[in-house]
Structure 1
Amino acid sequence: MDIAKTTNTKALAVWQKLILAAAVIVIIGVIYQQSNESGVSVSRSNIIVETVKQSALDITVTGYGELKSAQQQLLTAKTAATVKAILLKPGAIVSSDSVIVQLANPELDQQLQSAEQELNKLNANLRQTKLNNTRELLNERSHVAQSYAAYENAKLKLKAEKALVEQGIVSTLNYQRSVLDEQQLSQQLAIAKQRAEQLKEVHKEAQSIQLEQIKQQQGIVVMSQTKLTNLSIKAGINGVLQRLPVELGQSVNAGQEIALIGSVDSLIALIQVPQNQVDDISLGQVARVDTRRGIVDARVTRISPVIVNNTVEVELALPKILPENVRPQLSVDANIIVAKLANVTFIERPANVKPYTEVALYQLNPISGDASLVKVKFGRLAGRYIEVLGGVAADQQLIISDLANLTQTNQTIHIN
């Protein structure tokens, strides 16, 4: 009898535990159901509510980047030198003849002095040569004159002896000697004239050689002067000094960068676009660039074929007239219009929503003040807006704040 009593007591205890557990489960279920029915309260000031719109919409690709000069000029050192003075700093507005950096090289001064001295020496030699040539030519002309006089005298003598030899006054032998003298003097005169002409040509060629040497030396002098002039680093174009990677007293080599000049009246925008959106972009498309000082219309002129850090560089041409204080290296945002949609449903992009996805969002009931979850199907992204393909209609309101912590457990929430 004692054993049977103990067994009944244990069985009763087990049933009591099962009943208690079932009661707890029922209570929890009721509480959970009441929680779902009553909803969670959310302050209106802590959420963002947007209205679904229906109208024309520009499909855009958004990117970021900076403004660059359309025209740039890199200034380099022409010879090895030392930075003697830095006259302008980055950011300075420059004209084409503005001196930015003054370099120094004492060897170039010495080279110029030596070249000028050699040029003076060659010029002096040319003047001396001309004097000598004049003297030689005068001597040669004097010799020609003497030969001419001797020849004329021989001609007169021969003419006189010709009449006398017929009369027997002059012997035939003397007459023949006179004939021979006249012929020899005639040949000597011809040779003298030929020598005088050849001497002129020799003098002319000698002076030509010296003039060529002088011309070469003048080129050396001009080159030395140019090297000295190039020590004054000038901007070369009108614009702004963008970069100056040298310091006072620094030694620079030939070809080393001294400064970078960029135009300020002709700018472009270099925009980084996500690689998964660049396929929608093509040359000639219109873009809107936000310079933080105004919105500027632009046009796509180049798309880089290279992908860097999952982005592609797109170049936008800007108009000549830009907002005030717009300068190179200014950070900008750009929206490139890749398509224009007519009569499309859209809303401002909710938090964490990606294109072509279906997301549960709270739809606001303006009468009751409650918001219930609805499945919204999204399409293409258009800057800060996104296309709505289904789930809601125009003029309905959605909460676009991030409420992922509520959507998992609450079908309805109260807005207060």
Structure 2
Amino acid sequence: MKQLLITKKRKTLKRFLIPLIISIGVSFLYFSWLSKDTIPEEYLKPIKIVSTTESKILKGIGTIQPTQRELVSAPSDGTIKLLNIREGQIIKRGDILAELNNYDLEQKIHTAQLELLNISSQVSIDKSNLAIRLSQVQSELANSVMQLKQQKLELNANEALAEKGIISSIRFKQSRMQFEQNELEVEAKKAELALFKDAYEQQLIAYANKIKLAQNQLGYLNKKQSKLILTAQFDGVISQNSSKLGQVVKQGQSLFELIETNNLLAKVQVPQYSSDQLERGQAAEIITPSGRIQAKVDYIDTVIRNGSINVFLTLNSVTPNWLRSDQAIEANIYTAQQQATYNIQKPHDFNDFKHWNIFEVNANNQAVLTRISYHEVDSSQLSFEEKLSGNYVLLIPDKYTKEHTIDFNLGSSHD
């Protein structure tokens, strides 16, 4: 009897516990479902959209290029006797980079110096002889003029004596004929002196030209020798060096390459379909790991290469000392086209959820799910480019997004 009572008691307890367990389980599932699908009140507060309009940005990649590049070659045959450079070395305008030695040129200079000395000496002697001859001709003319004056006096005296009958008329005529003959001789000597002076001046010019020719030849050789000293024509850097000290080189042989560092520009590739958005003078920004540099569009190369065109940007300010030629860069070019950007406040728990959805709030106090893609602007704002009809949105974690439409006043959702 006792065993029967125990068995009945167990059956009664079992009948009571099973419904209780089922009831607890159903309640747990219901409240779990309810808590999972109910959107927390904090996500049902509309967020105002703030719009900004900016120039549309074209993005590109490229490299920094020098505005001046010089490939230095040997000015003549010779041997490198001085070399003050290495690759990557920074140079200043006027620095002596290298010097060549040309023995054949040195010999020509020595010969030209001797020739100039000989010509100068010979010209001095010839000019002295000409001066002596000129003095002689002038002296002879002066003597002839003096004699003519004396004969003139004698002629006048004989004329007076002939009139008085003291001397015969024949003698007077002889005297006059002698005077006239001497007068002709004086005129001839004057003409001779004039011709000699002209010849003298021409000869002096010829001597001067002869000396000048020798001087020019020597000057040309000296100038050619001075070019054997290779100096930097601008501030820059040695990009390549293929020369060695003591190396024998031929005229025109490449020695090293210089690139200017004070005036650099950016060569940027952008998609070819964006060429109609580009204009000379547009603002741009060069982006490097070391910093950003303001620039502007200087030239647009519209030739298509591998689907891209080249745009050249010049810097608005002095070139930073950390910017290097051939350095890889990114660039933003601000076009004339305007583009609207929409910003919303970032929730305080934004980083607690991996995915968020944007709901557009309409005039019926309903929020409709959108497929808008956003990106973070900074620590407090999100941004997107799609235009919405309203001025408010809801930002809800993907965890609570079960439906496409939400009546956010009641916190309920429906299709």
Can you give the 5+ residue segments of structure 1 that lack an aligned partner in the other structure? 1-52, 347-361, 367-373, 400-416
| 1:153 to 1:58, Cα distance in 2 relative to 1, 3 A | closer
TM-score under structure 2 length normalisation: 0.67
Are 1:240 and 1:262, in contact at CA under 8 Å, matched by a contact in 2?
Answer: yes
| 1:161 to 1:283, Cα distance in 2 relative to 1, 3 A | closer
Correspondence for 1:120: 117
Q: 1:389: Cα distance to partner? A: 6.9
Q: 1:364: Cα distance to partner? A: 4.4
- With 82-91 and 265-274 compared, the bigger mean Cα shift is at 82-91
- Does the residue aligned with 2:58 lie in a helix, a strand or coil? strand
- Does the residue aligned with 2:316 lie in a helix, a strand or coil? coil
What amino acid does structure 1 have at the position aligned with 2:220? M
Correspondence for 1:35: none
The answer on 1:142 being equivalent to 2:170 is: no
1:263 to 257, 260, 263: 260
What amino acid does structure 2 have at the position aligned with 1:78? P
- With 169-178 and 336-345 compared, the bigger mean Cα shift is at 336-345
Counterpart CA distance in 2 for 1:291 and 1:199 is 82
- Does the residue aligned with 1:207 lie in a helix, a strand or coil? helix
Correspondence for 1:62: 59
Correspondence for 2:194: 197
Counterpart CA distance in 2 for 1:318 and 1:397 is 45
| 1:398 to 1:140, Cα distance in 2 relative to 1, 3 A | farther
- Does the residue aligned with 1:127 lie in a helix, a strand or coil? helix
- Does the residue aligned with 2:75 lie in a helix, a strand or coil? coil
Correspondence for 1:342: 340
What amino acid does structure 1 have at the position aligned with 2:171? N
- Does the residue aligned with 1:156 lie in a helix, a strand or coil? helix
Counterpart CA distance in 1 for 2:85 and 2:201 is 54
Q: 1:258: Cα distance to partner? A: 4.0
Counterpart CA distance in 1 for 2:82 and 2:394 is 68
Aligned sequence identity (%) = 24
Counterpart CA distance in 1 for 2:323 and 2:243 is 26
Correspondence for 1:252: 250
CA deviation profile, 1:313-334 (whole Å, cap 9, x unmatched): 2111112235442232222111
| 1:365 to 1:337, Cα distance in 2 relative to 1, 3 A | closer
Correspondence for 1:274: 271
* Count of matched residue positions in the alignment of Structure 1 and Structure 2: 322
Can you give the 5+ residue segments of structure 2 that lack an aligned partner in the other structure? 1-48, 345-353, 359-368, 378-382, 399-415
| 1:58 to 1:173, Cα distance in 2 relative to 1, 3 A | closer
Counterpart CA distance in 2 for 1:267 and 1:397 is 49
Q: 1:263: Cα distance to partner? A: 3.2
Are 2:264 and 2:319, in contact at CA under 8 Å, matched by a contact in 1?
Answer: no
- With 297-306 and 167-176 compared, the bigger mean Cα shift is at 167-176
Counterpart CA distance in 2 for 1:378 and 1:304 is 34
What amino acid does structure 2 have at the position aligned with 1:158? L
| 1:325 to 1:365, Cα distance in 2 relative to 1, 3 A | closer
Q: 1:100: Cα distance to partner? A: 1.4
TM-score under structure 1 length normalisation: 0.67
| 1:310 to 1:365, Cα distance in 2 relative to 1, 3 A | closer
| 1:394 to 1:322, Cα distance in 2 relative to 1, 3 A | farther
The answer on 1:187 being equivalent to 2:188 is: no
What amino acid does structure 2 have at the position aligned with 1:252? K
Correspondence for 1:217: 214
Counterpart CA distance in 1 for 2:393 and 2:241 is 57
CA deviation profile, 1:182-223 (whole Å, cap 9, x unmatched): 001111112112212221221110110111122222222111
Counterpart CA distance in 2 for 1:229 and 1:340 is 59
The answer on 1:300 being equivalent to 2:294 is: no
- Does the residue aligned with 1:304 lie in a helix, a strand or coil? strand
| 1:342 to 1:365, Cα distance in 2 relative to 1, 3 A | closer
What amino acid does structure 2 have at the position aligned with 1:342? A
**Aligned-pair Cα RMSD in Å:** 3.5
Q: 1:274: Cα distance to partner? A: 3.1
| 1:55 to 1:252, Cα distance in 2 relative to 1, 3 A | farther
Counterpart CA distance in 1 for 2:57 and 2:226 is 52
Counterpart CA distance in 2 for 1:179 and 1:335 is 110
What amino acid does structure 2 have at the position aligned with 1:328? S
